[in-house]
Amino acid sequence: MQQTKITGATAAQVAARSEELFRQGLFCAESVLQAVAESQRIENDLIPRIATGFCSGIARTSRLCGAVAGGILAINMLCGRDDTTTTVEANYLVVRDFMKRFEAEFGSTNCYQLIGCHLDTPDGQAFFKENNLWDNCLVFTREAGRLAIQSIQAAAE
């Protein structure tokens, strides 16, 4: 598989950093991507900004969980292809492994199914706040960081 050399950051360290970034105000996808990038000593002005539209279930559309999207972006950053002569298969295996791990832990990768509300409506946003669903998203963000780096590390072995 074509990929960047993986440093020795532990899954627990990436998970903790994902959570810390989320608590500091980055959103789910941004936090996961940033934490994985930091764990691999990758600095780029595009991180975390390239993840912003994936937050809140892809721009509050109640679709793919933003933390999952951030994990996929992180996987692509480390395991994606650089040109058309490289197959996508190795990358897709890592992405599918990550998504399978997340779904096994939480039952879905879909934002609406995970939190039970639509974030694009005032009622949905009120429901999110009233039911402290931010705490759930914190867990999804932390665990997406952990599961993404585990899938990346497993593929590198």
Kindly state the DSSP code that residue 5 receives in the 8-state scheme: P
Question: Taking the model in full, what pTM does it have?
Answer: 0.95
If you average pLDDT over residues 12-35, what whole number do you get? Answer: 98
Span 37-61, pLDDT tens digits: 999 999 999 999 999 999 999 999 9
Return the domain boundaries, the chain.
11-156
pLDDT at 1: 44
The count of other CB atoms within 10 Å of the CB of residue 115 is 23
- Burial (CB count within 10 angstroms: exposed 0-12, middle 13-18, buried 19+), residue 112: middle
d(CA 112, CA 34): 24
Query: Stretch 1-27: mean pLDDT, rounded?
Result: 85
- Give 74-124 pLDDT, tens digit per residue: 999 999 999 999 999 999 999 999 999 999 999 999 999 999 999 999 999
The CB density around residue 89, as the number of other CB atoms within 10 Å, is 9
Q: What is the mean pLDDT of residues 113-140?
A: 97
